[in-house]
Structure 1
Amino acid sequence: MKKTWVWLPVISLALAACSQEDGSDNASSNSDGEMSGEITVWVHPYTGDSEKEDAMWDEIVSDYESEHGVTVNLETIPWANRDQKVLTALAANNGPDVFYAIPDQMPQYADVGMLLELDSYLGDYDLENFVESSLVSVQWQDKTYGLPILQEAYTLFYNTDIVEEIGEDPENLPETWEEFTAWSEKAVEAGYYAHSFQGGGSMNGTLYPFLWQAGGEVLTSDDEVKINEPEAVEAFELINTMYQDGWIPEDSITAMAHNEQWFNGEIMAITGSGNTLSLFESEGYENFAMAAPLTNQEQVTYGTTGMFVAPSNTDNPEAAAEFIKHVTNEENQRRFNSVTKYIPTREAAKDIFDGQPHLEQIASYTQYALPGVIHPKGRDIMPSIQAELQSMMAGEKSPQEAADAAAAAIENVLAQ
């Protein structure tokens, strides 16, 4: 029997609460303790090759069904409007038993009781082989709501011709803000931009990495707003310098990409990930070197984490939890990430990149990757922060004024 959702208007994600039942009539196991029945699993198209993905899922599902005696109904749903589709389905009690989630969804769902707490199903399950940073994404208020299957790690890619032209060594790339500043000034003096900056994109790829590197935070899980504290303001100051001193292109306030300037040899460094490597490969571009994420007070960067979770109103929680453990085990992480080209969240599974030096290198950086602001309002606060950052870059506010205004905007969102 499925639990019933007390559902408020579906437009807001903090809309649902789950009435808790004791689960005594849940028939996910038979009298011998073996699982039975069936589960529905929702996945997405992770590549453009549906044939390869179908073959991959056939192997993963077949192994699970053989081991556990539970039938898996696997459905691939589009990325578009996935939040609405999940919420609507769960409200109608006909949603999946397992589905894919990303870091800004998990705390929203977990905070209102929509996700199954997995801790009681993990027992002595070994989490040690997971990259530690990947587990940050699946936990909220000290409870585990999912297991991670993929990660990314953003870092800096340098144009090696420009590096050599400014008298530096492509094999000895900047490690600190101080070193990066010195290189940036040389690049600008030589007539280049030092860096790309997508001010119209997500804060995850612009402000947040610098803020974390400075030792700052945006918002804690206890609703403490810290974006206008000195460490965080240092990141605002750096970005302001980057724009006002011409380190980044003139359209950086609203730009979504600077690929054209990069391929034209106008920019010394861009922020990228594994997808950047795929783009370079498709363009036949080899004139680059990758550096480790920068350090100021901390060495840290952004990198999303993909996970599988179960709704708390699943009628087969044990089978759902076992599937989540199954799909994220070492063997299946190799299967999944070999096809999708993401980075496994299990260290041992990273051997799929053996002999591929660039992928090996970027995979080694996931230890530094944070998945964003893990908070139920993490997604909601981004537009306000972005607006204040853009206002600062436009010369309308000082870094401290922009940070203070962002803090006030976050407080308003929290109060809603």
Structure 2
Amino acid sequence: MSNTIFKKLGLLFLVLVLSVVMAACSEDETTTTDANTNSDNGSANTETEESSGLSGEITVWAHPYTDGSTGEGDMWKTFASDFEAETGVKVNFEQIPWANRDQKILTALAAGQGPDVFYVIPDQMPQYAEQQLILDISQYVTDEELSGFVPTAIEATSWKGKQYGMPILQTAESLIYNKNILTELGVDENSLPTTWDEFKALAEKAKAAGYYAFSYAGGGSLNNTLYPFLWQAGGNVIDEDNNILINKPEAVKSFELINEMYTKGWIPQDSITALDHDSLYFGGKLLAVNGSGISVNRLLAEKPFDFVIAPPLKDAEQLTYGTVGMFVGSAISKNPEAAAEFMKYVTNTDNQRTFNNITQYIPTRDEAKDIFDSQQYMAQLAEYTQYAKPGIIHPEGRNIMPLVQAEIQAMLEGKQSPQEAADKSADAIDKLINK
């Protein structure tokens, strides 16, 4: 019996158990809830309901995207009230913490409770889709409605040919160089490396001058370390049909590059298990890092040195990492049409301008990127979302990472070759998906 079937049976058992528990709740509470629901469908919004074809209410869960001092709460109140005015559907909004969000969402859905709409990222989406926890919105959204989004954002919100999410935010990482070091090395900031070979040449110059060329945080996420190089080489880890690709020649090139950077001293000695090299970078000891909008905002605030952003590197392809945030619908929603409509509403161009101006993430619609017209660096990163892949989109994406990470660490310790590290990674992934 396949792993997917086991997961579905396990989820069904959890639903049955929690249903028994929920049945023990008082009938008074159920009656009150039903009464409130009926009152929300009253005559006050009859004209709007008739024009939109929607009615009732939905519950939306989202997380805090700022520190709370930017008007984020008022934004959600406005979104909810405007959507109700347009459609007649009441929106019950709840902000939930980031901590333990998976557990909270899964428990609520298994109990037949929880939100109609909630926020996820790409490594959660395929898990939920495989377990039939989220709504396939392909029937509610047209190709024309999706046409205004950045293609990489749509890639991140679909699985096996079905559309599950509507993307609202995106990030893109690219090389951020210390201009002081570039000047010392005699490098024109307008002629920075665009290929692996050009970067290698500059890395050698930086090392000769007493600097590290790059930050490789071997104890951190592969999204920020291995994967960008792997994609640039034309490789991948695994596809949606469970074909393992990480030990193919294209992918092995990324293992070889990382090994070369370490053995030649282009990256710090602790790169095997480091979580970050912020102190080295902000201390002026690193030529470049892969950074996002968070990095830019910190550099602008602390001003340790002048910097310049270069486009993502290219080997076989020009690609980088960037996450995508999306709203998905619950598969158990009693109002799926309204849920899908809200997902489209909150990610339309105007609302993306509002949301991303407040949160300082990059809109997933090209038209909304004009919010950064006066912000040089964010505008530059927004341009690079066309190259940004959101990690490995697969139900086991999160669980694959530590397996590969362990083999890379062993490679950097000199215990195995890049090919051996890739082969052992492939074996470990095969055991994981076929357990």
Pairwise same-fold verdict (TM > 0.5):
yes
Q: List alignment gaps of at least 5 residues for structure 1.
A: 13-26
Is 1:352 matched with 2:371?
A: yes
* 2:386 pairs with one of 362, 367, 371: 367
* 2:234 pairs with one of 203, 215, 231: 215
More helix by share: 2
SS in 2 for 1:262: helix
Structure 2 CA distance for aligned equivalents of residues 121 and 95 of structure 1:
21
Structure 2 CA distance for aligned equivalents of residues 186 and 7 of structure 1:
58
Is 1:397 matched with 2:399?
A: no
Partner of 1:82: 101
Q: Deviations over 1:339-387 (max 9, x none)?
A: 0000000000000001111111011000000001111111111110000
Structure 2 CA distance for aligned equivalents of residues 31 and 142 of structure 1:
33
SS in 2 for 1:195: coil
Is 1:250 matched with 2:269?
A: yes
Partner of 1:273: 292
Partner of 2:245: 226
TM-score by length of 1: 0.92
Is 1:188 matched with 2:207?
A: yes
Aligned residues: 399
Structure 2 CA distance for aligned equivalents of residues 414 and 359 of structure 1:
39
Query: Alignment identity in percent?
Result: 55
CA 1:93–1:220: 2 relative to 1, 3 Å: same
CA 1:11–1:348: 2 relative to 1, 3 Å: farther
Structure 2 CA distance for aligned equivalents of residues 167 and 412 of structure 1:
50
Aligned amino acid, residue 8 of structure 1: G
* 1:327 pairs with one of 330, 346, 356: 346
Instruction: Tell which deviates more after alignment, 201-210 or 49-58.
Output: 49-58
Structure 2 CA distance for aligned equivalents of residues 11 and 132 of structure 1:
38
CA 1:214–1:51: 2 relative to 1, 3 Å: closer
Alignment of 1:107-256 (within 5 A): 107-123=126-142, 125-256=144-275
Alpha-carbon distance, 1:282 to partner: 2.2
Alignment of 1:28-107 (within 5 A): 34-49=53-68, 52-107=71-126
Is 1:340 matched with 2:359?
A: yes
Kept after mapping to 1: 8 A contact 2:217/2:275: yes
TM-score by length of 2: 0.88
CA 1:93–1:298: 2 relative to 1, 3 Å: same
Alpha-carbon distance, 1:124 to partner: 5.7
Alpha-carbon distance, 1:302 to partner: 0.4
SS in 1 for 2:145: coil
SS in 2 for 1:267: coil
Kept after mapping to 1: 8 A contact 2:157/2:167: yes
Which entry has the higher C-alpha Rg, 1 or 2?
2
Alpha-carbon distance, 1:173 to partner: 1.0
SS in 2 for 1:73: strand
Structure 2 CA distance for aligned equivalents of residues 96 and 381 of structure 1:
29
Aligned amino acid, residue 162 of structure 2: K
Alpha-carbon distance, 1:286 to partner: 4.6
